[in-house]
Amino acid sequence: MSSAVVKPWDHITELMRRDAGPEEVEILLDSMEPDELLHAVYLLTPDDQRALLAMLPPERSASLLEIVSDAHAADLIEEMRAQDAAPIVEELASDHRVDVLAELGSETAEAIIAELDVEDADEIRELINYPPDQAGGLMMTEFASYPRAMSVRSVIEDLTRDDIDYHLLTVHYVYVVVSKRKLVGIIRIRDLVFADPERKIGELVKTPLTIPPDATLEDMENFFDEHDIAAVPVVDHRGIMLGLVRRRSLLQALADRAESDSLKAAGIIGGDELRSMPVLTRSWRRLSWLSINIVLNIVAASVIAFYEDTLTAVIALAVFLPIVSDMSGCSGNQAVAVSMRELTLGAALPRDVLRVWRKEVIVGLINGIALGALLGFAAWLWKGNAILGLVVGSALAVNTVIAVSIGGTVPLVLKRFKLDPAVASGPLLTTVTDMCGFFLLLGLASMVLPSIM
């Protein structure tokens, strides 16, 4: 009889249960592939994850926090004592450190910051004020900068010192500055290595590409699309270098935003959800929208109840009700997706509601007539009743126009009132198109009821 396969997370739990030393646990973690390690960490209970962080050296614990989401990392350290969490937070890269602390409540974050040294604490308080979707919120402050009067030899010797934290330093470029960290140039590391050791680095500099701290995600995405570089300096209006944004940090931020919008559109409110979280927390995050949505669906269903006699007289209408509502909903969701994309890119603003509506109505008319004709023709072939086909086709055509009008404009209206369009646009669209679809089909059918019975 074959023995059960022991999973990596079981190994971790076993070592922790028998109070193995941190060295033994680290050896096990080092033996895992990155994807396997991430999976193993997530499959531990939250309490075991915290116990693992507490038993490992702060630097190693920080490396584990860097592979999970910021929200999950914050959930873990929130339950730890501030004096235990602070050494781990201190080992995180500056950009990740601020992102994690920003997820915490202000009192918890301040308690951890108070345990750090004065320089780190002041830096965090400054960085945490930047919005997370701007360059200031994404930048890291670990970079190699030197005055232009230094020689190539001196810079290389400094970069190769044993006490340099290479796991934090983005060693792609050297930044050349004058007094008060005013950026005057940039040198690629490979150019520095092959230069004459006695030359001054000020003679090798190239004009740097920079971005301001208030650059948006879209601004940075466009910048990196145009320039094939790994990181870009962030400078203020005086030319002072504040930090740098890595390409990979931007890509992660864009992916996080897309994931967040996807969860919101699915009705999961409150951020990341993992199946290792408490059941009641997960249930509440889902119920918070579902409970509202069920009321909206009852309103839509009441339209069917109002036309119960018509539906009873022509039972074939029941077949077409879900088709009309579903096809209209699909058209509306396409319009929502385009509006959300244009809002993200800045191609559409809340004040563009009328322009967006006019353009969507034109598309809606064309698609509505085409889809209505197809469905009406199918109804005519099935029942041999041209009036029934006309009713079904007209309901779908009109409802398609309504759906794209709502789908195109609602995200802009919600944005205008500072509401999150990713949360409400989809469910609101679905409920309204269902209600209008039922009303149009049953209302038109009741008007010509003798002709379709």
Q: What is the pLDDT of residues 239-295, one digit of tens each?
A: 999 999 999 889 888 877 776 666 565 555 555 555 556 667 666 666 666 666 677
Q: DSSP character for 274?
A: -
Per-residue pLDDT reduced to its tens digit, 319-335: 899 899 889 988 988 98
**Quick check: 392 pLDDT over 90?**
yes
Is 26 within 8 Å of 60 (Cβ atoms)?
Answer: yes
Q: In the prediction, which pLDDT does 227 show?
A: 93
**Quick check: 110 pLDDT over 70?**
yes
Is 86 within 8 Å of 119 (Cβ atoms)?
Answer: no
HSE-up of residue 34 (Cα within 13 Å, Cβ side) = 5
Average pLDDT over residues 160-182: 73
Q: Are strands 145-147 and 173-178 parallel, antiparallel or unpaired?
A: parallel
Q: In the prediction, which pLDDT does 274 show?
A: 55
Q: Are strands 182-188 and 173-178 parallel, antiparallel or unpaired?
A: antiparallel
> If 0-12 CB within 10 Å is exposed, 13-18 middle and 19+ buried, where does residue 231 land?
buried
Name which residue leads in pLDDT, 45 or 1.
45
Tokens of 438: 């039922």
- Closest by CA to 324, choosing from 406, 260, 254, 400, is 400
Q: DSSP character for 243?
A: E
Residue 235's H or E segment, with its range, is strand 231-235
How far apart, in whole angstroms, are the C-alpha atoms of residue 41 and residue 243?
31
Per-residue pLDDT reduced to its tens digit, 22-48: 888 888 888 888 878 888 888 888 888
Per-residue pLDDT reduced to its tens digit, 74-99: 988 998 999 999 999 999 988 889 98
- CATH match of 145-264 with 3.10.580.10: yes
Name residues whose C-beta falls within 8 Å of residue 271's C-beta, 6 or more positions apart in sequence: 71, 260, 263, 285
**Quick check: 2 pLDDT over 50?**
no
Q: In the prediction, which pLDDT does 233 show?
A: 94
Alpha-carbon dihedral angle through residues 222, 226, 231, 237, given to the nearest 10 degrees: -70
HSE-up of residue 267 (Cα within 13 Å, Cβ side) = 15
How far apart, in whole angstroms, are the C-alpha atoms of residue 230 and residue 246?
6
**Quick check: 168 pLDDT over 80?**
no
Give the mean pLDDT of the chain. Answer: 85
Q: In the prediction, which pLDDT does 278 show?
A: 64
Q: DSSP character for 232?
A: E
**Quick check: 114 pLDDT over 60?**
yes
> Which residues are paired to 146 by β-bridges?
176
In the chain, where are the structural domains located? 8-129, 145-264, 279-452
Average pLDDT over residues 108-129: 90
Q: In the prediction, which pLDDT does 3 show?
A: 47
Q: What angle do CA 3, 9, 10 make, to 5 degrees?
A: 40
The one-letter amino acid code at 49 reads Q
- Closest by CA to 213, choosing from 132, 97, 109, is 132
Lowest mean pLDDT across 66-75, 108-117, 251-260: 251-260
Q: Are strands 241-246 and 231-235 parallel, antiparallel or unpaired?
A: antiparallel
8-129: CATH topology: MgtE N-terminal fold (1.25.60)
How far apart, in whole angstroms, are the C-alpha atoms of residue 42 and residue 127?
29
Determine the 3-state secondary structure of 346 from DSSP: coil
Q: In the prediction, which pLDDT does 358 show?
A: 94
> If 0-12 CB within 10 Å is exposed, 13-18 middle and 19+ buried, where does residue 59 land?
middle
pLDDT class for 1, splitting at 50, 70, 90?
A: very low
Q: What is the 3-state secondary structure of 139-197? A: CECCCCEEECCCEHHHHHHHHCCCCCCCCCCCCCEEEEEEHHHEEEEEEEHHHHHCCCC
Is 188 within 8 Å of 238 (Cβ atoms)?
Answer: no
Name residues whose C-beta falls within 8 Å of residue 313's C-beta, 6 or more positions apart in sequence: 449, 453
- Closest by CA to 442, choosing from 286, 262, 318, 282, is 318
The one-letter amino acid code at 395 reads A
Average pLDDT over residues 95-113: 89
What's the whole-model pTM score? 0.60
Q: In the prediction, which pLDDT does 39 show?
A: 81
Average pLDDT over residues 172-186: 88
Tokens of 129: 């004020």
Per-residue pLDDT reduced to its tens digit, 310-320: 877 778 888 89
**Quick check: 301 pLDDT over 80?**
no
| Class of the CATH domain delimited by 279-452 | mainly alpha
413 alpha carbon, distance to own chain's centre: 22
Q: What does each C-alpha distance from 243 to 94, 379, 408, 414, 450 come to in angstroms? A: 10, 64, 39, 34, 75
**Quick check: 429 pLDDT over 90?**
no
Would you tell me how many other CB atoms lie within 10 Å of the CB of residue 17?
10
The one-letter amino acid code at 435 reads M
% of the chain at pLDDT higher than 90: 40
How far apart, in whole angstroms, are the C-alpha atoms of residue 96 and residue 246?
12
Is 218 within 8 Å of 250 (Cβ atoms)?
Answer: no
Would you tell me how many other CB atoms lie within 10 Å of the CB of residue 30?
9
Would you tell me how many other CB atoms lie within 10 Å of the CB of residue 166?
9
Q: In the prediction, which pLDDT does 385 show?
A: 92
